[in-house]
Chains A and B, each alone.
Chain A
């Protein structure tokens, strides 16, 4: 059990007229090695929740545990936690500051107090993991394209060798090609290293293809926490909270209702294709 969230609530600006109840009694268990999609509408509390997991926000009520240790107990090493639970913020390219790509990626491991050669090895490995070519390593990060900058920023977190990688809307503002590239890279990374990945998004389409568990948040609470298939079965309910199931789900439901019986539980285009072909063969 890597991370346990126990009855966590969080209130912004408590005690003023602007008080917002951002999280309401959240209970979660995040085991090692899972690929999780955290989905919710804007303002549903998903960003607030992931900042809790990283120890950046202290819950108003409730506890958080990492490998059985309470985040806010005496002697808990918060710096170590932050290297073990890596958080990539929304638009992470806005946090780049160094004169060249390589030194920027070195920032994280340097803060962990590693030796120079270790730092450089970590940075090199991380840049390779996000698929950035060597020719960019000593360029200014500000000269790169949007997608490349984002890779560098993700590498900056990966260089700390986290066990859990949290990505807050990693594809926001990217074109479809850039989006697919980043998501494929993350999926490949997870396959190679076996780390836990939490992908925060508001788009079911993005995550359906990759994750093995979906957590849907609405108004600071958890609405669904299940496998993608199970979650998409309640697509009507998802629509009510301003989300939608992948388009494939809708098409399959339509085909099932109007043309011929198919399995409506498929979540990706590939599965849908083979399912329709199968149905046609019968």
Chain B
């Protein structure tokens, strides 16, 4: 059940995308997300979809695996679409009881759904192909200039990497505690909302206790190794750009220009 959540998970395999510098992947993801919000027409979404499909193909991550991760945001997606569908004022198409679906509503809901799912797929491709360590390393390097204005970049990225590292651990822990309580006859599924919320107590209390215990252990282990933040700290594997990274940057730039250009062309037409 909980194993189905692939958000933020790393998929171990070998591909061009996996080997890319994390900075490239971060920048490309940001560019891709920005492009999604610049697109104003159907053709633009097709270009974005093609770009996404191309990257998925290159990444060797099975498509099913990515779709599985989408399940966790299905509810969010449905709510967003629902709100937009029914609450956008405009020319009415269908009207049932107090709910009216408008032409504008359909348009906005559809583009919202596409944007949201592309956004999630795009960012999960990044996390699926980059180890958490690499990702935070990349982020630290990208944010490095902010150090001049006293932003604790290293500390922030360390917190990020710890948080990311703990996602699978806590998921596994949740799975384990859930099973242990089910074995003691706990029921997490049936009953009304209040009963369901109450049934979470035997899950949440042990989970919090274990999270604090782990945090304590980690802090102790870090202190035992004399960790004192980012000052004068060197990397075991410093990030370095290769030829493929520049090519990837080129592709990303080309994609952005293309999406903007297509928007303009169709705007003029």
Contact = CB atoms under 8 A, between A and B. Distances in A.
Contacts of B179: 51, 56, 89
A59 B201 CA distance: 29
Contacts of B90: none
Contacts of B205: 97
Contacts of A156: 184
Number of chain A interface residues as a range? 20 to 34
A139 to B, nearest CB: 16
Given A95-B177, A96-B206, A97-B201, A108 B185 contact: yes
A92 B180 contact: yes
Nearest to B202: A97
B13 interface: yes
A157 interface: yes
B209 A89 contact: no
B232 interface: no
Most buried by A among B180, B201, B206: B180
B216 interface: no
- How big is chain B's contact interface, by range? 20 to 34
A112 interface: yes
A193 interface: no
Contacts of A13: 3
A15 B67 CA distance: 13
A13 B11 CA distance: 12
A17 B11 CA distance: 8
Contacts of A16: 11, 62, 65
A167 B104 CA distance: 61
B183 interface: yes
Nearest to A17: B13
Contacts of B182: 56, 82
Contacts of A54: 183
B64 interface: yes
Interface string A189-213: 0000000000000000000000000
Interface in B1-45: 3, 11-13
A94 B13 contact: no
B187 interface: yes
A87 B209 contact: no
Given A18-B12, A89-B176, A94 B186 contact: no
A93 to B, nearest CB: 9
Contacts of A124: none
Contact of B186 (A96, A111, A157): A111
Nearest to B203: A97
B177 A94 contact: yes
A140 to B, nearest CB: 11
Contacts of A92: 180
B144 interface: no
Contacts of A157: 183-184
B180 A95 contact: yes
A88 B93 CA distance: 59
Contact of A56 (B13, B183, B185): B183
Interface string A68-99: 00000000000100110011010010111100
B12 A17 contact: yes
A95 B206 contact: yes
Given A16-B65, A18-B12, A97-B201, A86 B183 contact: yes
A18 B9 CA distance: 13
A107 B202 contact: yes
B181 interface: yes
B183 A87 contact: yes
Nearest to A54: B183
B80 interface: no
A94 B183 contact: no
A137 interface: no
Interface in B154-192: 176-177, 179-187
B207 to A, nearest CB: 9
A142 B64 CA distance: 43
A82 B65 contact: no
B86 to A, nearest CB: 38
A111 B187 contact: yes
B210 interface: yes
A216 interface: no
What 4 pairs across the A-B complex have the smallest Cβ distances?
A111-B185, A97-B205, A95-B180, A108-B184
19 contacts: A13-B3, A18-B12, A56-B182, A79-B185, A82-B182, A82-B185, A89-B180, A94-B177, A94-B180, A95-B206, A97-B201, A108-B184, A110-B185, A111-B184, A111-B185, A156-B184, A157-B184, A160-B184, A160-B185
Given A82-B185, A94-B177, A107-B185, 15 more contacts: A17-B12, A18-B12, A54-B183, A56-B182, A56-B183, A86-B183, A89-B176, A89-B183, A94-B210, A95-B177, A95-B181, A95-B184, A107-B186, A111-B184, A160-B184
